[in-house]
Structure 1
Amino acid sequence: MTTVTSPLAGRAVGLANVPDPVFAGAMVGPGTAVDPVREPTAAVAPVDGLVVSMHPHAFVVMDADGHGVLVHLGIDTVQLNGEGFELLVSKGDQVKRGQPVIKWDPAAVEAAGKSPISPIVALEASAEQLGEVVESGEVAIGGELFTWN
């Protein structure tokens, strides 16, 4: 079983409340979302594993069981062309849970007209494969968001 922890501090809001129909409809996969604290921060790895995809606004870490977890920093943030995002690791790197992956400023994303709400998604999974998913309340960096069987 894989435990997926929060890459960000903030408030869990659940995928249904993400202002993007693709994420809200769980078309990318099941999971949850975090409305981050509005201060410069680093998004951290939600699991131990291999960075299999790396973009300024999003990354995927695949754990030893082959579970890929997508962390998408904000909505429509690809349109910022990397502005305000600093990559701390590279595709192909091994990371440990809690290791900083991307530095960013959710307040700057919001000031640029984008939502800083950040989906954390279990790729190629069904909702039935996830244990209890945190969809409300405050979350700390490293706090459990869901388990994946």
Structure 2
Amino acid sequence: MVFFAKSKDTDLVIQAPFAGEVISMNEVPDPVFSGGMLGAGVAIRPSDKESEIIVHAPVAGRVANLFHGGHAFALVTTLGTQVLVHVGLDTVELKGRGFEALVEEGQRVKAGEPVLKVDAALIREAGKDLVTPIVGTDKSQVSGTEVQAGPAEEGVKIATFTLV
């Protein structure tokens, strides 16, 4: 009997969900994210000039969860890796104001496909930081992150998650 070793993809490329400044997770002003409690990742902060932001899928996958209030969503890739996109800090407190889902749970999306429409002006007026963490939530699958910090346009590579 012949056994074939399972081919292992060791990298998951993360694309910028919108244009902005890419920062490492330890720079996110929230200990849940900066402390890695939810997993390894990267974050991006949109320009202060934007009044509306379209958040695009940073990877291809199935929309596993659209969080109540629309402030976050999770995608599951074909490799089974879950990627959480959390738009802003403490934005759950807005109870959906300023967020519009453009997809449905269970829907498959391509990297770069629009997922959320965000009223950035409303969120800033509410005193919320729009820094957006993108996290590989399964710590047993994501062993590390290589971040490409600095300015980035929507759709460009901003990080690589190393998969176990």
Q: TM-score, normalised by structure 2?
A: 0.84
Post-superposition shift, 1:127? 9.6
Change (3 A) 1:96 1:58: same
Greater mean alpha carbon deviation, residues 52-61 or residues 34-43: 34-43
User: Which whole-Å deviations, capped at 9, do the CAs of 1:35-91 have from their partners, x for residues lacking one?
Assistant: 112311210011111000102000011110001111100000000000011100011
Larger strand fraction of residues: 2
Residue 146 of structure 1: aligned partner: 159
Residue 78 of structure 2: aligned partner: 64
4+ aligned runs moved over 4 Å, structure 1: none
Residue 9 of structure 1: aligned partner: 19
Change (3 A) 1:82 1:128: closer
Post-superposition shift, 1:8? 1.7
Number of residue-to-residue matches in the alignment: 148
Matches within 5 A, 1:1-149: 1-38=11-48, 39=50, 40-55=52-67, 56-125=70-139, 129-134=143-148, 136-148=149-161, 149=163
Partners of 1:86 and 1:104 within 8 A in 2:
yes
Root-mean-square deviation (CA, aligned residues, Å) is 1.6
Post-superposition shift, 1:119? 0.4
* Identity across matched positions, percent: 41
Post-superposition shift, 1:128? 6.9
Tell me the distance in 2 between the aligned counterparts of 1:126 and 1:140.
30
- Unpaired runs of at least 5, structure 1: none
Post-superposition shift, 1:142? 1.1
Query: What amino acid sits opposite 2:105 in the alignment?
Result: K
- Unpaired runs of at least 5, structure 2: 1-10
Post-superposition shift, 1:147? 1.9
Tell me the distance in 1 between the aligned counterparts of 2:118 and 2:156.
19
Change (3 A) 1:110 1:25: same
Residue 4 of structure 2: aligned partner: none
Query: What amino acid sits opposite 1:141 in the alignment?
Result: E
Q: TM-score, normalised by structure 1?
A: 0.92
Partners of 2:40 and 2:145 within 8 A in 1:
no
